[in-house]
Structure 1
């Protein structure tokens, strides 16, 4: 079996990658079983249907922009990120590489596309970005918010060691309580950001 046939068979049987070809009439001329399994929504094959049936309406323009580029430079792969119907009223995000295929006369024949689902990757990336933002906020609070009440508590404790005046001790104790409450509120704010 030659290399091209092996690659074609690999893509045809892959459970992770999608392989499709879209003819110049904008319909699917080839659809891998995995693509049908994920996007035909139990209605048989997508072969022969317009390419837009699986797409988020806003992403059709991406294909309309990339398609002509594929035929203008058929030796080059063109990337595209597209949202596809998930069958539950939502969308998954897919990453594709597309390439123009020419016939024996050098005329546009189809666009061959290989893609895969990147939804989980994007969700994880969003969670990591949110976690990084929370860590930045916590770091800021710790470096700025925590220092003041902590410095007050340490200073008041030092003053309490030095004073014997009952009225001054009462006033310092009240200040100590206020600083401790402020410190506690900051700790609670940090705890809430972690959850």
Structure 2
């Protein structure tokens, strides 16, 4: 006959199992609702068996129709350069017993091209704090990523153009300023030259400041 301690442990275990079952059912309901209400690609992975299912978003976004219901199929379509990042993200999630995570990576389409995606996932743990199930939602963010990359490339080109132009202008400017110093040495005996040197020196200094400000804004 079980003693009081065993009964208490059993009761505690049953309570934990009930909580996890409720989480599972809520998660299942959420998965079914999301699958019907969103155009995102929703996936559901059983960690122990590796069985993985998708909603219709996998067809709409990536064009995949012939899908193997396995974790390996999903991993094999992640860009090779991003795979370690994704695996490490989930490894840290399991290690730290975190429920939620989001990861950006590239996923291969049916036509062989890649799309940039944001993958948000929720992990369900059992009573021993071991991960048993993950549900994820993949959103296509290709346009956003391409826009950001294009802006970064444009900024690089602008900095290069500004650098080249400023140095092309600085070369003759340096010669002008050198000439100003030379004229300034003889300007004391020539009032007209002294006035001209003053205007020329001011214009050169102003141009030098303009170039410096351009370089600061583009650096």
TM over 0.5: yes
Native 8 Å contact 2:50 2:70 kept in 1: no
Native 8 Å contact 2:120 2:137 kept in 1: yes
Native 8 Å contact 1:82 1:94 kept in 2: yes
Partner residue, 1:18: 41
Could you tell me the TM-score, scaled by structure 1's length? 0.59
Query: Pick from 107, 116, 128: which aligns with 2:151?
Result: 128
Partner residue, 1:116: 139
Moved more, 86-95 or 100-109: 100-109
Query: Pick from 102, 108, 118: which aligns with 1:95?
Result: 118
RMSD after superposition: 3.5
**Residue 146 of structure 1: SS of its match in structure 2?**
helix
Native 8 Å contact 2:31 2:42 kept in 1: no
Judged with a 3 Å threshold, the aligned counterparts in structure 2 of structure 1 residues 64 and 133 are, in CA distance, closer, same or farther, namely closer
Partner residue, 1:38: 61
User: For 1:51-104, what per-residue CA distance to the aligned partner results, in whole angstroms no more than 9, with x for missing partners?
Assistant: 324323444433432334333444442232222112222211212222311357
Could you tell me the TM-score, scaled by structure 2's length? 0.53
Q: List alignment gaps of at least 5 residues for structure 1.
A: 156-195
Q: Distance in 2 between matches of 1:86 and 1:13?
A: 22
1:48-59 residue pairs with structure 2 within 5 A?
48=70, 50=72, 51-59=74-82
Q: Distance in 1 between matches of 2:81 and 2:159?
A: 34
Q: Distance in 2 between matches of 1:68 and 1:86?
A: 25
Q: Distance in 1 between matches of 2:51 and 2:106?
A: 18
Comparing both structures, which one devotes a greater share of its residues to helix?
A: 2
Judged with a 3 Å threshold, the aligned counterparts in structure 2 of structure 1 residues 70 and 27 are, in CA distance, closer, same or farther, namely farther
Judged with a 3 Å threshold, the aligned counterparts in structure 2 of structure 1 residues 40 and 87 are, in CA distance, closer, same or farther, namely closer
Query: Pick from 124, 135, 160: which aligns with 1:137?
Result: 160
Partner residue, 2:89: 66
Native 8 Å contact 1:73 1:100 kept in 2: no
Q: List alignment gaps of at least 5 residues for structure 2.
A: 1-25, 180-219
